[in-house]
Amino acid sequence: MYAKFFRLSLALCWALACGAAQAVPEIKTWVTTNGARVYFAQTEGLPLVDIRVLFDAGSARDGDKFGLATLTSTLLDSGAADLDADAIAQRLEGVGAVLSTGASRDSASVSLRSLTQPELLRTALAVTKAILLQPRFAEQDFERDKKRTLLAIQQREEGPDDVGGILFFETLYGNHPYAHPKEGNADTVAKLTRDDLVGFFKQHYVARNARVIIVGDLKWSQAEGIADELVGSMPEGNVPPTLAPVEPAPTGKTVRRNFASEQTHVFAGQIGMRMGDPDFFPLYVGNHILGGSGFASRVVKEIREKRGLSYSAYSYFFPFRQSGPFMMGLQTRNDQAAQALEVLQQTLRDFIAKGPTDEELTASKKNITGGYVLKLDSNSKLTEQIASIAFYDLPLDWLNTYIPRVEAVTKADIQRVFQARIHPDALQTIVVGAGQREQ
């Protein structure tokens, strides 16, 4: 199926919640006796529940063992307590439950969706508890999943998009733990051992390092019982040390990689902002106008609508625990890459020099505030938003104060923060495609 406009999955930027006085369910939060913080919101209308357990155990915690956090997360549902992978899957799927594990740069997650009918939910919870507390990390499972990871790492080299994306992060972050891809690299993954995984699990999958999010058609008392069952007997443990702040590169750099593709992929950006940044709203609303709102944005108008240079073109902030990237990008046929990059840079320079127009700011605010209800209109979307609040310790009224804070942003705010923080002449630029001379 082909869509008019390809929105990168990242582009939806799940962390950027919208909120208002209406339709935001109450979020209750408490701490289990062993130190895990729980967030609960009750929803009605469907007999289902979404449960997510998040740990500060993403690839930023790999140390020099790149890929460790991801492989640890991958192995969780391959065997736990007296259940092997088949038994785990059979029990969950037998009650129609869906479980997944995953890691990002900041976090590792175990997510469960289940029906709320008690005997079905009971089975799903028992299996999830085993996965959270007693994963086996069996040698045979470890070897198999390591090999599969190594193949996936090879596959990244098949296309200019993955190659460019990895180069972008490496260039932007240098020696910071955000620099390497979360799957790791071939040489670092090859060296991982089962003991590495067991050690990482023991250190990071602990109560004080956990956030539990429960959203669904349940009562508070039921949610309390679920949290206790899932993490109540987890060791207390400790939170890992604070991640180092990111040092922005003082000067711009362009990295070119020759790749035998039809298109050249261009990424340009710099260090952006972290979750909870005081400039969050002016940066977010400003970027919405610059390149974050599809056809309404300047980047798409200049690159695609006026010139037909690229199918997808965008600019985004990805706030992490520490500063995430500000990133612009496009793809175009090889001989147009220089022209397209120039238009992209010029669009950014103009925006920073002159700021948005009154009409642009009004239109953007209308879009963000008028579309607020769409960001919370399902159980799964609500779970995403609350997970973001929980993991990044955002204030509990985050969703309720969102609209007024968007409304409060002025043209001068946007121009001020963009001029202070975004430097078009110091961008890190990655160009991957046919005819690029390596530098």
Partner 1 sequence: MSLSRIALWFAAIPIAVHGAETKVHEFRLDNGLKVLIQEDHRAPVAVSQVWYKVGSSYEYGGITGVSHMLEHMMFKGTKKHPAGEFSRIIAANGGSENAFTGQDYTAYFQTLERSRLPVSFELEADRMRNLQLSPTEFSKEQQVVIEERRMRTDDQPHAKMEEHFQAVAFTNSPYQNPVIGWPDDIAGLTVADLNAWYGLWYAPNNATLVVVGDVDPKATFELAKRHFGPLKTSQLPPLKARAEVEQFGQRRMTAKIPAKLPYLVLGYKVPALKTLADPSEAYALEVAAGILDGGNSARFSSRLIRGQQLAASASAGYDLYSRMSTLFTLEGTPVEGKSLAELEAAFYREVAQLRDEPVTADELARVKAQVMASKIYQRDSIFYQAMQLGLAETVGLSWKVVDEYVDRIGQVTPEQIQQVARKYLTEDHSTVAHLDPQPLPEGAQVSDESTGNGGHHVR
Radius of gyration, CA atoms only, the chain: 23
Q: Are strands 108-115 and 98-103 parallel, antiparallel or unpaired?
A: antiparallel
Site string for partner 1, 168-207 (x = CB under 8 A): ----------------------------------------
Q: According to the binding rule CB under 8 A, does residue 261 interact with partner 1? A: yes
Question: From CA 107, how far away is CA 60, in angstroms rounded?
Answer: 8
Among 346, 380, 401, 419, binds partner 1 (CB under 8 A): 380
**Shortest Å, Cβ 351 to partner 1:** 18
Collapsing DSSP states into helix, strand and coil, what is residue 89?
helix
Which CB sits closer to partner 1, 54 or 127?
127
Among 29, 30, 96, 400, binds partner 1 (CB under 8 A): 96
Stretch that binds partner 1, among 68-76, 110-118, 199-207, 270-278 (CB under 8 A): 110-118
Stretch that binds partner 1, among 104-112, 129-137, 269-277, 412-420 (CB under 8 A): 129-137
Among 29, 34, 47, 229, binds partner 1 (CB under 8 A): 47
Q: Encoding tokens for residue 140?
A: 């045979």
Packing angle of the helix pair 411-421, 358-370 (nearest 10 deg):
100
DSSP string, 163-194: HHHHHHHHHHHTTSTTSS-TT--HHHHHH--H
Give 187's contacts (C-beta < 8 A, 6+ positions apart).
none
**Shortest Å, Cβ 336 to partner 1:** 6
Question: From CA 368, how far away is CA 71, in angstroms rounded?
Answer: 37
**Shortest Å, Cβ 433 to partner 1:** 7
**Shortest Å, Cβ 222 to partner 1:** 16
**Shortest Å, Cβ 304 to partner 1:** 6
Quick one: how far is CA 117 from the chain centroid?
31
Site string for partner 1, 213-242 (x = CB under 8 A): ------------------------------
Are the beta carbons of 62 and 173 closer than 8 angstroms?
no
Give 308's contacts (C-beta < 8 A, 6+ positions apart).
none
Q: According to the binding rule CB under 8 A, does residue 416 interact with partner 1? A: no
Stretch that binds partner 1, among 37-45, 206-214, 315-323, 421-429 (CB under 8 A): 37-45
Q: According to the binding rule CB under 8 A, does residue 345 interact with partner 1? A: no
